Structure 1
Amino acid sequence: METSQEKDMEKETTVSYDAYFEKIQSRKKLPVSLQETLTAAFARIPVSSFPQVPGGKGVIEISAETSISDAVKVLSECNILSAPVTDPDKADSSDWKDRYLGIIDYSAIILWVLEGAELAAVALSASSATAAGVGAGAMGALGAVALGTTGPVAVAGLAAAAVGAAVAGGVAVDKGMGKDAPTAASELGDDFYKVILQEEPFKSTKVREIIESFRSTPFLPVSTESNMLMVLLLLSKYRMRNVPVIEPGNAFMKNFITQSAVVRGLEGCRGRDWFDAIASHPITDLGLPFMSHDQVVSIDSNELILEAFKRMKDNQIGGLPVVEGQRKKIVGNLSIRDIRYLLLKPDLFSNFRHLTVNDFMKTVASMVQEVGKVMPAITCKTNSTLGDIIYSLASKAVHRIYVVSEEEEVVIGVITLRDVISCFIYEPPNYFDDYLGCSAKELLKR
């Protein structure tokens, strides 16, 4: 049964969906006839016609029995932010609801890892007697540190197990180490990293164990027989980052349509009349940026990297601009994808409690040689066209562009993949009800 708090959260989310799309429609300076024609055209395009995931390997899936550390490696090596999770016990099921448990992504993993890290540090900084009885005290301490309060009961179990792992691995509980989590974490150094990802129980903790508690997006497949308007609405108005595609009568995933893939597809339509009729407009004609300067969530380069990722989690965003000085001039961009360097590099992780955003970016830039892996902030001006924005998003493989002032490079807005997709469509009245027999809100609750 839903609690009153859950109902309030659901109502708030629904209002935010509607408010976002109403703002877009009210600010577009496009002929209504063009928008209606284009929306109707997308409604006639079958999902099956959308290009398959690149690379020729099909959809990358992760078994629920995969360890967290191996899941990080899979996401990093494939250069993807998320992947569907399969239940090996239901591999032969013809129902996708049984075969797939959801989607695992970096935001879920980093939240789990950092919460476990903080709890382990709290426990290890206490006396041996206190450490042996980790529970409510550790949870209380966690609420006081940068990550904020958490809900999943499983975290308490992880904390107790982390203490056992640390002691078994020879990491002594030193009463003189200091009585706070930051001190403990910094003193543990590389051994602390080993406790989190290389020793038990973290090495053997499975994706299955965190996917429900740390889910950041619903798992909502569409059929290959569905149309692209449904997909575009889910990716834009309803804020899904990816839409799985399943063939009717077959539980196996056929495709995985992301916001990035759609924007790349739009870029491929350059030169066609319908695309150019919209893309040639300056972004102000489309009401962009929808997010105003006072809504932009940023991080100062001197703040801690832990705070940056916490801020992304709290605001449910995938990245934020790095700023400096009193005028908050933009000097870089931090993405949730960059968290992989914290998880894969012990020398970074061992000092994560004291690592600043600036030092983190410098270290990562010096480590990475591949072109395009670490990108500076991509910016535009208010006189840029929508076509300029789409080209930059597609060619540079980024998820957001920061709109800056003409002279001082101060961020005055953000344009996301979601925003760009929203410019090309609107939602016909009762669309999901008429097409599927249920509303989009009911779908997202599944």
Structure 2
Amino acid sequence: MEKSQEETKETATAVSNDAYFETIQSRKKLSASLQETLTAAFATIPVSSFPQVPGGKVIEILAETSVSDAVKVLSECNILSAPVTNPEKAYSNDWRERYLGIIDYSAIILWVLEGAELAAVALSASSATAAGIGAGAVGAIGAMALGATGPGAVAGLAVATAGAAVAGGLVVEKGVAKDAPTAASQLGDDFYRVILQEEPFKSTKVKEIVKSFRSTPFLPVSTESNMLTVLLLLSKYRMRNVPVIEPGKAIMKNFITQSAVVRGLEGCRGRDWFDAIAAHPISDLGLPFMSSDQVVSINSSELILEAFKRMKDNHIGGLPVVEGPKKKIIGNLSMRDIRYLLLKPDLFSNFRHLTVSDFMKTVASTSHEAGKVMPPITCKTNSTLGDVVHSLASKLVHRIYVVDGEEDEVIGVITLRDVISCFIYEPPNYFDDYLGFSAEELLKR
């Protein structure tokens, strides 16, 4: 019997996870005894000993919060994600009832891009002259984003778009708009009107995004669990964050992220075990875990929405901005940059022609002195792991780009996940023995 798409995806993920760690282990030039010692040590450190989030309280977002308000919370608190709580189960002692999942920028990007792609469906299905999308079309788009994604909804969207024709508008030929960047380009300023100002998008709730665009499982660990479990989940098993729950209670006690772990590692500088690994050049550790032709990048002259689409399609949190045939790096874009489009659309009124370069310059003019674009964080192949950890921790970034030659050609990327993986490995049958089932099964739950 043939596997379903979901089963195939889960199998591919499991294989990818195993291949990831096998690649790391085969390319490392560290002593096995040091690796075993560190892995055993982390297995004895309780999760409760890990430093609390700033302020000592986890930022939570109510399920009924609008997407725009959620983006404001993430931006103001300078966080990438937050757990979403169900107000109807606020006093439940079961975390499965109290928490619906996690809202993060990756889910928001998927929501925005689907909105644009749904608009593209309508534009492609209609040869009408349209200056914008009428209320009927907005309603149809909203219905699809909220779950009504059947053929009827698509047909309703196309009809509504055709009905929105007004004189003097933009002529949209059938079959032209096929993806999010094209749709947004053709919609121009109406893209923002649809996504941010019109109903039901304007009041779309966080709970709908969590249901439809879950990019990471909500998988809490107990305060009595050990740090090896957390480190494996954050590295090998691709989780960006791990919620911490006190046994028998549903209130979240901590929220451990990849970034927090790397900052914790930086704080261990000076200890023998850290310095023994940190002194190694990244090449001794097999970093970066890719070839130069596997680096996903964006040219500075391409449209900004294409950059976010590329992140979505490749399941990555950021990408280098390059110029020229040598792919000289000039900047960096990350998923969190979507907040500028959502919170300050007035800065990008010329959206249909907004390039990555213009986007970075406009953001810089509101964020940095003299409007200078912040330089990308880079390292060389002979940099040490300690150098990389310091850059990631001190600059509060999630990736560092490996460059080569005088032209600063991008030849690789090192992420927080990669750094964490350098300190540990997964003992045989670890999750089977510790939890009673495999990590792959754990992530399906």
TM-score, normalised by the number of residues in structure 1? 0.88
Summarize deviations over 1:92-118 as a string: whole Å, max 9, x none: 111111111111111111221232244
Q: What residue is the counterpart of 1:347 in the other structure?
A: 346
Q: Distance in 2 between matches of 1:87 and 1:442?
A: 25
Aligned to 2:367: 368
- For the residue of structure 2 that corresponds to 1:45, the secondary structure is coil
Q: Is the 8 A contact 2:113 2:309 kept in 1?
A: no
**Aligned-partner Cα distance in 1 for 2:10–2:269:** 39
Q: Could you list the per-position Cα deviations for residues 117-159 of structure 1 after superposition, in whole angstroms to 9, with x for gaps in the alignment?
A: 4434765776499979869x999xx9xxxxxxx9964598699
| Equivalent residue, structure 2, for 1:272 | 271
1:382, 1:403 within 8 Å by CA — same for their partners in 2?
A: yes
1:10 corresponding residue in structure 2: 10
Aligned to 1:282: 281
Change beyond 3 A, Cα 1:209–1:174: farther
**Alpha-carbon contact 2:220-2:244 (below 8 Å) kept:** yes
Question: Given residue 20 of structure 2, which amino acid in structure 1 is its aligned partner?
Answer: Y
Query: Quick one: which amino acid aligns to residue 345 of structure 1?
Result: K
d(CA) in 2 for partners of 1:401, 1:98: 38
Structure 1 gap segments, 5+ residues each: 143-149
Pair 1:396–1:89, CA change in 2 (3 A): same
Alignment correspondent of 1:177: 170
Q: 1:267 to 1:286 in 2, by over 3 A?
A: same
User: SS of the counterpart of 1:333?
Assistant: strand
Does structure 1 conserve the Cα–Cα contact (< 8 Å) formed by 2:262 and 2:389? yes
Name the residue aligned to 2:37. Answer: 37
Give yes or no for the alignment of 1:424 onto 2:423.
Answer: yes
Displacement of 1:4: 2.1
Query: After superposition, what is the alpha-carbon deviation per residue over 1:266-285, rounded to whole angstroms, capped at 9, x for unaligned?
Result: 00000000100100111111
Q: In the alignment, is the contact (CA less than 8 A) between 1:61 and 1:84 conserved in 2?
A: yes
Q: Distance in 2 between matches of 1:121 and 1:429?
A: 48
Q: Which residue of 1 aligns with 2:385?
A: 386
Shift of 1:57: 5.3
2:25 matched residue in structure 1 = 25
Q: Which amino acid aligns with 1:294?
A: D
Deviation at 1:189, TM superposition (A): 5.4
Q: Secondary structure at the match of 2:243?
A: strand
Offset of 1:294 from its aligned partner? Answer: 1.4
| Post-superposition CA distance 1:361-380 (Å, at most 9, x none) | 11111111389x97421111
Q: Deviations over 1:37-90 (max 9, x none)?
A: 110000000000000011x15111111111111111111111111111111111
CA distance in 2, matches of 1:132, 1:243: 41
SS of the aligned residue for 1:420 comes to helix
Q: Identify the residue that residue 409 of structure 2 maps to in structure 1.
A: 410
The answer to whether the Cα contact below 8 Å between 2:62 and 2:84 also exists between their aligned partners in 1 is: yes
Change (3 A) 1:174 1:254: farther
Partners of 1:112 and 1:336 in 2: CA distance: 13
User: 1:145 is matched with which residue?
Assistant: none
Q: Distance in 2 between matches of 1:138 and 1:72?
A: 21
Return closer, same or farther for 1:94/1:374 CA change in 2, 3 Å cut-off.
farther
Q: 1:323 aligns to what SS in structure 2?
A: strand
In structure 2, C-alpha distance between the alignment counterparts of 1:256 and 1:270, rounded to whole Å:
23
**For 1:334-371, what per-residue CA distance to the aligned partner results, in whole angstroms no more than 9, with x for missing partners?**
11111111111123454434211111111111111389
The one-letter code sitting in structure 2 at the alignment partner of 1:211 is V
- Decide whether the 8 Å contact of 1:234 with 1:240 is kept in 2: yes
CA–CA distance in structure 2, aligned partners of residues 118 and 192 of structure 1? 11
Q: Which moved more, 1:175-184 or 1:246-255?
A: 175-184
CA 1:291 to 1:349, structure 2 compared with 1: closer, same or farther past 3 Å? same
- Tell me which amino acid in the other structure corresponds to 1:317: I
What is the aligned partner in structure 2 of residue 115 from structure 1?
Answer: 114
> In structure 2, how many angstroms separate the alpha carbons of the residues matched to 1:406 and 1:162?
51
- Number of matched pairs: 432
The alignment partner of 2:319 has SS state of strand
Question: Residue 146 of structure 1 corresponds to which residue in structure 2?
Answer: none
Question: Aligned partners of 1:151, 1:440: CA distance in 2, in Å?
Answer: 31
CA distance in 2, matches of 1:3, 1:175: 51
CA–CA distance in structure 1, aligned partners of residues 150 and 339 of structure 2: 21
CA contact (8 A) 1:134 1:159 kept: no
Aligned-residue RMSD, C-alpha? 3.4
Residue 86 to residue 324, structure 1, CA distance change in 2 (3 Å)? same
**Range 421-430 or range 192-201, more displaced:** 192-201
* Within-5 A mapping of 1:183-262: 190=189, 192-262=191-261
**Deviation by residue 1:239-289 (Cα, 9 ceiling, x = unmatched):** 100000000000011100000000000000000001001001111111111
2:376 corresponds in structure 1 to 377
Distance 1:132 1:93, change over 3 A: closer
> CA–CA distance in 1 between the matches of 2:193 and 2:136?
22
| Distance (Å, rounded) in 1 between the aligned partners of 2:183 and 2:23 | 48
Distance apart, 1:192 and its partner CA: 4.4
User: Could you tell me which amino acid in structure 1 is paired with residue 368 of structure 2?
Assistant: Q
Partner of 1:336: 335
Greater alpha carbon shift after TM alignment, 176-185 vs 412-421: 176-185
1:291 touches 1:415 (CA, 8 Å); kept in 2? no
Q: CA deviation at 1:408?
A: 2.0
**1:364-409 deviation line (CA, Å, top 9, x unaligned):** 11111389x9742111111111000000000000111111113221
1:163 CA drift (Å): 9.9
Q: Bigger CA drift: 234-243 or 207-216?
A: 207-216
Instruction: State percent identity of aligned pairs.
Output: 79
Aligned residue type for 1:376: P
For 2:418 and 2:186, the matched residues in 1 are separated by 44
**Which residue type is aligned with residue 24 of structure 1?**
I
Conserved 8 A contact 2:129-2:171: no
2:81 corresponds to: 82
Distance 1:187 1:436 in 2: 52
- Which consecutive unaligned segments of at least 5 residues does structure 2 have? none
Once residues 387 and 338 of structure 1 are traced to their aligned partners in structure 2, the CA distance between those partners, rounded to angstroms, is 27
